[in-house]
Amino acid sequence: VYARMSEVLGITDDNQVLETFMSKIVTNLKYWGTCEPVISRTLQFLNDLSVGYILLKKLVKIDAVKFMLQNHTSKHFPFLGVNDNYGLTDLRCRTIFYTALTRLLMVDLAYVDRTGKRSSRDCLCSEHKDQLHHAV
């Protein structure tokens, strides 16, 4: 995937590729909320990206990821909302979304600098951990 992105878009930096991926993921989740195939494939990709620890450490630095950690409601991501046609697929999508966010949040909260103090990212995310807990 990286090679193809480099070839087509001229992106050679790994971080730029991740930023592009995450921007597209957020865009899909925000604007394609009623299209189950798009949401499912996008969430599966997000889930795949959130599995590796080294990749997670890179992802938490990306603005699109910070946006998701701070705005994980149906106001920003319509597929999270409950409607009359709410079904099992919707529950699976929510589960995949919050599983990926939890991985991102946990790697972010686990970061402690050498002095033993929490990072500013920890403080940013800890403000929202209660919201995430209640959403799940």
Q: What is the pLDDT of residues 61-78, one digit of tens each?
A: 999 999 999 999 989 998
For 49, the domain range is 1-114
Q: Is residue 121 part of a domain?
A: no
Rounded Cα–Cα distance for residues 117 and 114 (Å)? 8
pLDDT reported for residue 1: 67
- b (16+ CB within 10 A) / e for 111-131: eeeeeeeeeeebeebeebbee
Question: Does residue 130 fall inside a structural domain?
Answer: no
Q: pTM score, two decimals?
A: 0.75
What is the predicted pLDDT for the residue at 5?
75
Report, as an integer, the average pLDDT of 104-115.
66
Percentage of the chain beyond pLDDT 90 is 45
Q: What residues does 112 pair with on adjacent strands?
A: 118
- The reported pLDDT for the residue numbered 43 is 96
Beta strands in 40-129 (DSSP E): none
In a domain, 20, yes or no: yes
pLDDT in tens, 1-44: 677 877 888 888 888 989 999 999 999 999 998 888 999 999 99
Q: Quick check: 91 pLDDT over 70?
A: yes
Band (pLDDT 50/70/90 cuts) for residue 114 is very low
**Domain tally, the chain:** 1
Distance of alpha carbon 122 from alpha carbon 134, whole angstroms = 19
Residue 98 domain-assigned?
yes
Would 124 be classed as within a structural domain?
Answer: no
